[in-house]
Structure 1
Amino acid sequence: MSFTWPLDPRDLFVERYPQMTLGLPAGEVDAVRAAVTVMWPDRPGGWVHEWSALAARHAAAGRHREAAQAYGWAKFPSLADGPKRTALARQVEQYVLAAPGFPVEFERRVLAVPHRGGEAAVPVHLMAAPGLPADAPLVLASGGVDSWKTDLHGMWEQLAFALPARLLLFDLPGTGESAHLPMTPHGGDEVIAALVAFARAAGNGKVGHFGISMGGYYSARTGLTGAVDASVVLGGPVERAFAPGRGFAFGMDGIVGNALGFDTAPTRAELDAAFAGFDLRPLLDRDANGPMLVVNGTEDVHVPQDDTLVFEGRRDTRVELIPDTGHCAVSRFGEAMALIAPWLKDTLAA
């Protein structure tokens, strides 16, 4: 199920330009920005058309990593229609072609995980610094509702080199290559519990979980329940973000609505009803958490500051708000990673 919704592409360039230019030259991003005039039509001037044209040029020149990045923006921000799903398939194809040139060890697998009484296929990527022993810890890692495992490759490489651990990268249910699974609090739990079990068996038994944005919601769940040995929550919504009547900026209502499985744009009441089960207050009221690091920027327009500060004073929990930056501290991401990587390394070694 999926739907399109009114969305001005100029707003997306305003919000995401710093992220776009992390993986592609600014001149190329600027050229696409100048060419795009509409969001959904697959024609010249359309978002998916112009980003895909850039990707195809990179692919033809053998620059598969850049092609994967550009196709990643072509399918952004949601798999709301056929052209977006085609762009995702081409992104995966180009990413796999680029993999032999990665400076890290890389393996793509499709895991069969228990889901609703049956099995579901979940594509994952395993990544590590070259020569890492097989019995190293594993760290589950994911992005959020619109930035997925393949989109964030540069960051995962950086983290892989910083950690004596293997990364297990996956897309959240309702997103990316896991879009066939519904995004629900407990449905996501079932998938992630299976990934945690796989990680414990595949390494030395120690497992971390690093979640970004909505991924941080799920890493907050595994941290608060003590299901993992180290939990990092970067910009994760946990309580106030799900309050009734609260809206989203930059088209996020439509992005989240697609991830939740709606087939038409949800009303505010429908979103409120869907979010009712996400509130982590019942887990916050318990004292069962494992070691946690909770980080965000002070100027987040998506996640209220209270959803970070609510963790202050908990045992085995460190809270960091980075000033003068927004959601997930993206404009000061180096500072966030300078906190996260050493904390994960030390906590998993303890």
Structure 2
Amino acid sequence: MSYQWPLDASELFGERYPQMINTGLPVSDVDTVRAAVADMWTDAPGGWVHEWSKLAASYAEAGAHERAALAYGWAKFPALADGGKRVALARQLEQYQLAAPGFGLEFQRQVLGLPYRGGTTDVSVHVFTPFGLPPGRPVLIASGGVDSWKMDVHGVLVLLATQLQLRVVAFDIAGTGESAVPMTGSGGAEIVGGLIDHARSLGNGVVGHVGISMGGYFSARSGLAGDVDAAVVLGGPVEAAFTGERKAVFGMDGIVGNALGFDAPPSPEEFAASRAEFSLRPLLDQDRNAPMLIVNGADDVHVPQHDTLVFQGRRDTVVDLVPDTGHCAVSKWGEVFPTVIGWLDRSLAAAGTSR
């Protein structure tokens, strides 16, 4: 189920521009697409999917498959709301697999049957393993968010695997990307729980969880519940973001509505009811969390500061609200990720020695 909704492409470029250029695309090429796009949904010259796909096809023809995958990722952004977006996702996957020999580490694509509501659901995962990885290393599970999925955060996944010298298992959260089920808090967490169990069998039994944006909701959930040995929450909503007090901007209402499985724009009452079950207040009221690192930008327009600062004072928890940057602190990832990597290295090593 999916639907289109009113969305200003120029506003979307304004908000996502740092992400577009910080994940590997040349500024000049992004600027060219930005100048050409006049409409979000028209699948024709001047349309978002058309212009991004045109750039991606030029990369593919030149053999620049990794850049082609990134550009097709923007073509299908921000939701699989029509056939053109779904075609772009299929082409992104095709180009991504063609690029894999150049990733600089071992890459495997697997489909896992993970627990979901009394049965199982197929979850496609991408496994990154540094060459010559010794046995007995921790494993990291990682995901992007509600509109930037596992292939879109490729650079982060490779950075984590190579810098930490461990295996990274990347996935799309429920309701996004290649997921076959809608996004719910409990159902999505059940899938994550199954993936954590799988990851424990791949290394020394120690598992960390890195979540970006809405993926950070699920890493916050697994960290607060003590289901993992360390959790990094990068721009994750946990409580205040799910109330009706904050107006959605830059099309986030439609992005989330698609992920939730609606086939038409939900009424305010339907939207509020669907989001209410996501609040992590019950887990925040407990004192059982794994070590956690909570990071976000102070100027985030999507996630209130409360959802970062609420972690202050918790045991085994480090909180960093980064000034002068927005959602997920994406414009300062060059500063943020050395901190993330250092913290994970220490936390996972400590978890290993305590086993």
TM-score, normalization: structure 2?
0.96
Structure 2: how far apart are the matches of 1:17 and 1:280?
31
1:236-293 Cα shifts (integer Å, max 9, x gaps): 1001111134321111000000001111011222111011111111110011111111
- What secondary structure sits across from 1:177 in the alignment? coil
Residue 188 (structure 2) pairs with residue 188 (structure 1): yes
Does 1:126 pair with 2:127? yes
Matching residue of 2:47: 46
Aligned match of 1:117: 118
Q: Distance in 2 between matches of 1:202 and 1:155?
A: 21
Of 208-217 and 118-127, more deviation after overlay is shown by 118-127
Percent identity of the aligned residues? 63
Provide the rounded CA distance (Å) in 1 between the counterparts of 2:176 and 2:273: 20
Cα deviation 1:218-241 (Å, max 9, x = unaligned) = 001000100000011111100111
The gaps in structure 1 that reach 5 residues or longer are none
In structure 1, what is the equivalent of residue 32 of structure 2?
31
1:335: Cα distance to partner?
A: 1.6
**What is aligned with 1:160?**
161
SS in 1 for 2:204: coil
- 1:315 shift after superposition: 0.8
Counterpart of 1:308, as a letter, is T
How far apart in 2 are the matches of 1:262 and 1:247? Answer: 19
Residues 144-190 of structure 1 show CA distances to partners (whole Å, capped at 9, x for unaligned) of 00001101111211222211321110000100011x21100110011
User: How far 1:129 sits from its partner (Å)?
Assistant: 2.6
1:325–1:332 contact (8 Å) kept in structure 2: yes
Partner secondary structure for residue 314 of structure 1: coil
1:130 Cα offset (Å):
2.2
Partner AA of 1:256 in structure 2: V
Partner in structure 2 of residue 206 of structure 1: 206
Partner secondary structure for residue 181 of structure 1: coil
Deviations 1:30-78 (A, max 9, x none): 1111111111011111100111111111111211111101100000010
Partner of 2:236: 236
For 2:331 and 2:62, locate their aligned partners in 1 and report how far apart those are by CA, in whole Å.
31
Structure 2: gaps (5+ residues): 351-355
What's the CA shift for 1:125? Answer: 0.6
Q: Distance in 2 between matches of 1:94 and 1:242?
A: 36
TM-superposed deviation, 1:214: 0.4
Q: Is the 8 A contact 1:245 1:268 kept in 2?
A: no
Q: Tell me the matched-pair count.
A: 349
Partner residue, 1:60: 61
Q: CA deviation at 1:300?
A: 0.8
